[in-house]
Structure 1
Amino acid sequence: MAEDKQPTAGELFDLLWERLAELLGTAATATLVRRATKRAAAEGLPMVSVNHNTLNYEYKVPESWRRAAETNALRSLRELAKELGVLLTRLTGPVVVEQLEREPRFRQSGVSFVES
């Protein structure tokens, strides 16, 4: 992805999944994303789906999350990030959230894991 190009919500979620899987493993990542998705879905915005096949976990983001300049997609991701931050803080303390908050692409896109 080019330096000057704003990442899509889908690209940011790909990065989020990768970072969480590195820190917590894919099973824990899938569980946390599912729980955060249920909590954020109350907003009525399109959300991620996570499935488990025989070997691993897979996720699918809404098609709108793959389009550039999709403001509702970014809003959905921000809601998911906030809910995920609450769960991560309860389970791991501030360590994981602080690592995610340091990611420049999240900061530049206004994606925060800390409740405002």
Structure 2
Amino acid sequence: MSKKLYVGGLAYSTTEDALKSAFSPAGTVESVAIVIDRDSGRSKGFGFVEMSTEEEAKKAIEMLNDQELDGRKLKVNEARPKTDRGFGGNRNGNRGFGNDRGQRRF
């Protein structure tokens, strides 16, 4: 199990300090990050908390999953590794450059 936890269902008003305070009873909080939307500058409603040990991470899940923070029910589980989403493209598998058929226009 990872020491890094995904925390979903955050209120837009929830701060990193509030999140750290909520997770502290489960053990030592190594880091807290709330994901912010680049365009609006507002929270996307989820973040990540890293505990110091796997045991503390497991305890945090047991203590905080489905609990309320700032009026919202939290979803806490093990964070999945970030996957490489590649470069560009669309649903058809094209890279998004030129026309869809891959033919050159002169």
- The reply to whether TM is greater than 0.5 is no
Larger strand fraction of residues: 2
Larger helix fraction of residues: 1
Bigger Rg over Cα: 2
